Amino acid sequence: MTHRSEMTLTTETDICQLIMQDSWRMDMLRYARAMALPDWAIGAGFVRTAVWDALSGKSTATALPDLDLIYFDPENADSDHDEKLRTVITRQSACDLWDVKNQARMHLRNDDPPYHDTTEALANWLEIPTCVAVRLEHDDSITMLAPHGIEDLLARHVRPTPAGLRKPDQYGKRMQSKNWCALWPGLVVEDC
């Protein structure tokens, strides 16, 4: 999707409309929905990048390094299962960006108490504007998961979540590696 001028986005509905106007993102949501995974969504850069591109008036869309397909299934938390799912959706969508992760086991990697659902897992990611995800419902409406709200995302303000504050080294390394300010001038990135 290309953006010719800066857009005004103020609500979750505005963000969902932005996603719905992007044919590629809608196709990826349809492929994810067809997987019929429990409590699924596509998160992180899938939403964040679209919003920041639109707010910045970028003439071409910023390339995504991956597509974070998350879901919650405590009955099948083996990482091998995620790899099988990734293979299936990659083949079906002809897109090799998929990163499929069952959030029912991610608390182990993150050294957190067990999560209860996808939204709680999302809340424990490191920076607030990344803690957003969308799901395409059966009626083709979009549901947004934003456990820390959308204010920072819309303000182009990056700050740590409570999990990020508990893990300042991880947060700092992530912010350095992302170098988002070079992609979106005017972005404000807070230190821990």
List, for residues 115-132, the tens digit of each pLDDT value: 999 999 999 999 999 999
List, for residues 133-151, the tens digit of each pLDDT value: 999 999 999 999 999 999 9
Architecture of the CATH domain 12-156? 2-Layer Sandwich (3.30)
Here the tokens at position 99 are: 């990163």
Pairing of strands 98-102, 157-158: unpaired
- pLDDT reading at 5 higher than 80: no
Cα distances from 105 to residues 32, 70, 143, in angstroms, run: 20, 11, 23
> How confident is the prediction for the chain on average, in pLDDT?
94
Closest Cα to residue 169, out of 108, 126, 128? 126
